[in-house]
Structure 1
């Protein structure tokens, strides 16, 4: 999926566009399975009682709230988080109702590093660390194919420095 062209300058194009790694969705999916399985089990237990309908309604309401809060919200948050490297800048956009964004011009980036442990290496993700003219380095967690993104971002930074 390409990043919206309306947000890019006339001579700017997208080099990399990523969402966070899918590993951040593991816990929400496990919560979904536990809620559905536990709710089904409790509904089956309540089926033999005379007050089964109110119990089923309560289980359905609690289950729906848990699924919306613990599964759908993280899924929408994952889907609306964008990590974009263009020819002119690094952009990060996150949020559903309250959007936040960071733009770093390529000319302001001093260094680019990455870090990933054994699990991240097995899953193919990691943390990208960007040092810019600001005081503290920015860390972007769960970037898929972090080594490739690191290389592409470094190339864009050095290409931008050569163009000046």
Structure 2
């Protein structure tokens, strides 16, 4: 899915567009299974009683609230979180009702690092650490294919537009 073109400059192109890694959806899916399984079990236990219909309605309402709060909301949050590297900047956008974002021009990025432990390496994700002119480095967690994104971002930061032979100039231009 391409990032909205109306947010890009005339000579700006998307290099990488990612959502957070799917591992952040494991707990919400597990909660979905527990709520549906637990609700079904409770509904079966309440079936012999004469007041089972109001109890089932209460179970359905509580189950729906839990699924919306703990499964649907994280899914929408995941879907509306964008990590975008363009030819001119690094952009991160997140949020549903209240959107927040950060843009870092390529010329302001000093260094790019990544970190991923054993589980992250097995799942193919990690944390991207971007040091810019700001005081503290920014960490972006759960970036899919973090090594590839790191390499692409490093190339974009060190790309010298004056050199059309593909030479990568010094860090920081």
Provide TM-score, normalisation by structure 2: 0.93
Partner of 1:59: 59
* Distance apart, 1:100 and its partner CA: 0.2
Equivalent-residue separation in structure 2 for 1:97 and 1:5 (angstroms): 21
Structure 1: gaps of 5 or more residues: none
Equivalent-residue separation in structure 1 for 2:23 and 2:160 (angstroms): 33
1:70 and 2:64 are equivalent in the alignment: no
Equivalent-residue separation in structure 2 for 1:160 and 1:107 (angstroms): 11
Q: What is the root-mean-square deviation in Å for CA atoms of aligned residues?
A: 1.1
Moved segments of 4+, more than 4 Å: 160-164
* Structure 1 or 2: more helix by fraction: 1
Matched-pair contact (CA < 8 Å) for 1:88–1:106: yes
Please state whether the residue corresponding to 1:10 is helix, strand or coil.
Answer: coil
Given the superposition, is the C-alpha separation of residues 127 and 109 from structure 1 closer, same or farther in structure 2, using an over 3 Å criterion? same
1:97 and 2:124 are equivalent in the alignment: no
After superposition, give the CA deviation of every residue in 1:65-89 in whole Å (9 maximum; x if it has no partner).
0000000000000000000000000
Partner of 1:29: 29
Count the aligned residue pairs: 164
Matched-pair contact (CA < 8 Å) for 1:107–1:161: no
Please state whether the residue corresponding to 1:153 is helix, strand or coil.
Answer: helix
Equivalent-residue separation in structure 2 for 1:91 and 1:57 (angstroms): 45
Equivalent-residue separation in structure 2 for 1:11 and 1:161 (angstroms): 13
Matched-pair contact (CA < 8 Å) for 1:25–1:74: yes
Partner of 2:132: 132
Equivalent-residue separation in structure 2 for 1:135 and 1:112 (angstroms): 15
